[in-house]
Amino acid sequence: MNIQVLGAHNCESQNSRFISLLIDDILVIDAGGLTSSLSFAAQQKIKAILLTHQHYDHIRDVPAIAMNFYLCGATINIYSTQPVYNALTTYLLDGKLYPKFLEQPQENPTIKFSLIKPYKIEQIEGYSVLAVKVNHAVPTVGYQITSSDGKILFYTGDTGPGLAGCWEQVSPQLLITEVTATNKYEEFAKESGHLTPSLLRQELTSFQGIKGYLPQVVVVHMNPELEREIETEIAAVAQALNNSITLAYEGMQLRL
Ligand SMILES: [Zn+2]
Ligand SMILES: [Zn+2]
């Protein structure tokens, strides 16, 4: 399994993009910084997009990639839970700001949408996909992706602390999770459903207690303004847990 981090941050600039992960060139999780990261040819290879939740930094490029597929007469598969589907059809692809790509063109709509149920394994483009609920301000699922050769990735999406129930469902070799802010923003993180380095440490300790091991950990969703400080605090967590924890960056390649 080859994982490319297209967008690794919660804010966009010349040097940072919203969250998006590309697996083996064909499967995408979250569509924050998706289209601006890929050539048209690379976009055309994408078979399916999984969405974790409705926040704009995770779905913003859905209309953009749909327009590119529409203009080629191609279709794209998008998967999410019911709340994300409701938000997309009500507020985004509603025919006012962006075309209704779920209904147009009438004879063969650009977006083929499939609903995902948490805790029910789906076969998608040759991968086993398991959606697991996490703790965020809106309904959010993480995705465990298992390849045909048995490599396992779990990406939490945006989440706050309290993941013990989630850890019971997954057994990844690589965990991609979020750290949005530094330790001094712990109250903000708990209220808004995000992690800090010290909250991540507690969650990883919980993971180790439940699963008996720690996976390789890669962190995304950093606030760029706080990133240097987050990096320092994460290094201390990695040392304390004696485990690999690295901050992702745009263009980062991970192999499983
Ligand atoms: Zn969010
Ligand atoms: Zn986010």
Question: What pLDDT is recorded for position 179?
Answer: 98
Q: What angle do CA 200, 157, 128 make, to 5 degrees?
A: 115
Q: Which ligand is in closest contact with the Cα of 180?
A: 2
Q: Which ligand is in closest contact with the Cα of 137?
A: 1
Q: Give the Å distance between the CA of 107 and the centre of ligand 2.
A: 34
Residue 46's identity, in one-letter code, is I
CA–CA dist 66, 101 (Å, integer): 7
Residue 189: pLDDT band by 50, 70, 90 thresholds?
very high
Burial of 148 (0-12, 13-18, 19+ CB in 10 A): exposed
At 200-219, the pLDDT tens digits run 999 999 999 999 999 999 99
Q: Give the Å distance between the CA of 220 and the centre of ligand 1.
A: 12
Q: Give the Å distance between the CA of 149 and the centre of ligand 2.
A: 30
What would the mean pLDDT of 153-168 be, rounded to a whole number? 98
Q: Give the Å distance between the CA of 161 and the centre of ligand 1.
A: 14
Instruction: Specify the pairing of strand 48-50 against strand 27-29.
Output: parallel
Q: Give the Å distance between the CA of 114 and the centre of ligand 1.
A: 21
Residue 256: pLDDT band by 50, 70, 90 thresholds?
very high
Question: What pLDDT is recorded for position 65?
Answer: 98
What would the mean pLDDT of 127-137 be, rounded to a whole number? 98
Q: Which ligand is in closest contact with the Cα of 33?
A: 2
State CA 176 to chain mean position distance.
8
Rounded alpha-carbon distances, angstroms, from residue 76 to 53, 70, 114, 244: 18, 9, 11, 35
Helix (H, G, I), strand (E, B) or coil at 197: helix
Q: Give the Å distance between the CA of 55 and the centre of ligand 2.
A: 6
Residue 56's identity, in one-letter code, is Y
Q: Give the Å distance between the CA of 136 and the centre of ligand 1.
A: 7
Residue 240: pLDDT band by 50, 70, 90 thresholds?
very high
CA–CA dist 125, 22 (Å, integer): 13
Question: What pLDDT is recorded for position 78?
Answer: 98
Q: Give the Å distance between the CA of 182 and the centre of ligand 1.
A: 17
Question: What's the pTM?
Answer: 0.98
Q: Which ligand is in closest contact with the Cα of 178?
A: 2
What would the mean pLDDT of 215-233 be, rounded to a whole number? 98
Q: Give the Å distance between the CA of 29 and the centre of ligand 1.
A: 14
At 3-61, the pLDDT tens digits run 999 999 999 999 999 999 999 999 999 999 999 999 999 999 999 999 999 999 999 99
